[in-house]
Amino acid sequence: MSGANAVSRGATILLAIVVLALVLSSVYARVWKPDGMRVHGANARVIRVQVLNGSGAGGIGSRVGSYLRDGGFHVIEVGNADRSDYFATMVVSRQEDVEPARAVAHYLGGLPIIRQARSSDPVEVTVVLGRDRSRLRLE
In this prediction, residue 139 has a pLDDT band, given cuts at 50, 70 and 90, of confident
pLDDT by residue (tens digit) across 99-124? 999 999 999 999 999 999 877 778 99
Same domain, 74 and 93: yes
Q: Measured on CA atoms in the order 27, 32, 46, 120, is the torsion positive or negative?
A: negative
Residue 50, domain CATH: 3.30.70.2390
Residues near 128 by Cβ (< 8 Å), separated by ≥ 6?
52, 54, 81, 86, 89, 90, 91, 92
What pLDDT is attached to residue 83?
Answer: 96
Same domain, 5 and 54: no
Same domain, 21 and 70: no
- As for how many domains the chain has, the answer is 2
pLDDT by residue (tens digit) across 22-56? 777 665 555 544 444 445 444 567 999 999 999 99
Rounded to two decimals, the pTM is 0.69
Span 3-12, mean pLDDT? Answer: 81
What pLDDT is attached to residue 34?
Answer: 46
The DSSP code for 118 is: -
Residues near 52 by Cβ (< 8 Å), separated by ≥ 6?
61, 79, 80, 81, 82, 126, 127, 128, 129
Same domain, 63 and 81: yes
Spatial distance between the Cα atoms of 42 and 79, rounded to a whole number of angstroms? 32
